[in-house]
Amino acid sequence: MVKGVHIENFRSFKELTVENLAPLNIVVGKNNTGKSSFLEAVFLAIDAVPIVPFRSVYSYILGKRGIEVGLFSFYPVEHLQELAEFLRIHFFYRDATRARVQLGLDNRNVSHEFEFRIRDSIPLNREKNGKESEVFEFASLMDNGQPVIGIFVNPEGRFAYIGPYRIWSADGEDGGTLRVFLETCIMCRTIENFIQTIKHLETVNSPEVYDSIKDIISPFFSAPVESFSPGIGDFYVNLSGGTRIPLSMVGDGIRSLILHYMALGISPQRKVYLFFEEPENYLHPELMSILARTMVESPHQIFVATHNLDFLKRILYYAKEREKDIRVLAFRDLKEGIPEIKTYALEEAFTALNVLEMDLR
């Protein structure tokens, strides 16, 4: 379990230290106070197999900020320096080119050193054995000395693109440990990305998860849900009587609950870190209660950011009922890269609800 976090020069933060974290950690606060930066820093620093719908966790982090990664997004080579700066500022504080995220775990510390490297110029019209050479690396983001994402220039020196080095893999990671990040815009992505995430989660789910999901969502359909099945380009909800409904045609709230419930339902035999950004979005209050209760009952460590006071109250209620150890991290302000954070244990959070309401309103 992550018990403490220390961050230097990562994204919004010049420096941050948080201690005494719990199995369930709720991050609240106004916009632009560093909540997403905090979740992303912890997620990237955990040595575990990622479950994301992209080729690498770094592509995923850029993708959730709306930045296209890969060969389908070309940039004119004349703007190469600007592109490099564009990539750098998404991982480093102000003018920094080095950052560090250190996690205090149960019995050890884990540290990730990030560095941004850039060349002064690129050679053009390069040839190798009479043929065009391979793409040329102009800049790269390094994680503990290993390149993880870079800016590449095509052999003719005409265009550039941002691309990953590492693909979805367990190499160099703890194969028994998983990390999952479900962000607020997961419902805005293509159905292909959504289905990829579902399929990844399927491989590590407890067998009874689908039975629970069927019971939860059946009242929202015209007939009981009997099963789920993959199909070409989609995932199907199969109703009693033979009706098949593509998941892409199901309401956003139902789809969101299915996705988060599957993440929470990963087998307790696996060590898992879950990161949710505003999971209450799209949810009717009844479904919001189901999600809050399931989060409290989960055996996995969870980091969740929310702007919803009602959702926070539901989590606190179920946590008190089940005597769950939680922390509420209230991000109050962010000045010159130093965040003001107030940490509450369960009973303290109940007492401070009026104050927390100001952070969420």
Least confident of 32-36, 173-177, 277-281: 173-177
Q: Is the dihedral of CA 109, 341, 60, 147 positive or negative?
A: negative
Task: Decide: helix, strand or coil at residue 39.
Answer: helix
What whole-number distance in Å separates Cα of residue 84 and Cα of residue 152? 10
Percentage of the chain exceeding pLDDT 70: 90
> Among candidates 170, 111, 171, 120, which has minimal Cα distance to 143?
111
> Among candidates 134, 137, 159, 132, which has minimal Cα distance to 149?
137
For residues 290-301, give the mean pLDDT.
Answer: 96
User: Which is more confident, 232 or 294?
Assistant: 294
> Among candidates 29, 85, 18, which has minimal Cα distance to 343?
18
- Predicted pLDDT at 40: 95
Residue 182 near residue 259 (C-beta atoms within 8 A): yes
Tell me the average pLDDT of the chain. 87
Token pair 């015209």: residue? 222
Least confident of 41-45, 79-83, 117-121, 262-266: 117-121
How many CB atoms lie under 10 A from the CB of residue 307? Answer: 19
What whole-number distance in Å separates Cα of residue 252 and Cα of residue 229? 19
- Predicted pLDDT at 128: 45
- Predicted pLDDT at 94: 94
For residues 206-211, give the mean pLDDT.
Answer: 84
Least confident of 26-35, 142-151, 176-185, 210-219: 176-185
For residues 173-183, give the mean pLDDT.
Answer: 79
Q: What is the pLDDT of residues 228-287, one digit of tens each?
A: 888 777 889 999 999 999 988 998 899 999 999 999 999 888 899 999 999 999 999 999
For residues 294-301, give the mean pLDDT.
Answer: 96
For residues 298-307, give the mean pLDDT.
Answer: 96
- Asked if the model's pLDDT at residue 54 lies above 80, the reply is no
Q: What is the pLDDT of residues 101-132, one digit of tens each?
A: 999 998 899 999 999 998 765 554 444 444 45
Q: Where are the alpha helices (DSSP H) in 175-299?
A: 191-202, 209-217, 252-264, 285-297
- Predicted pLDDT at 219: 93
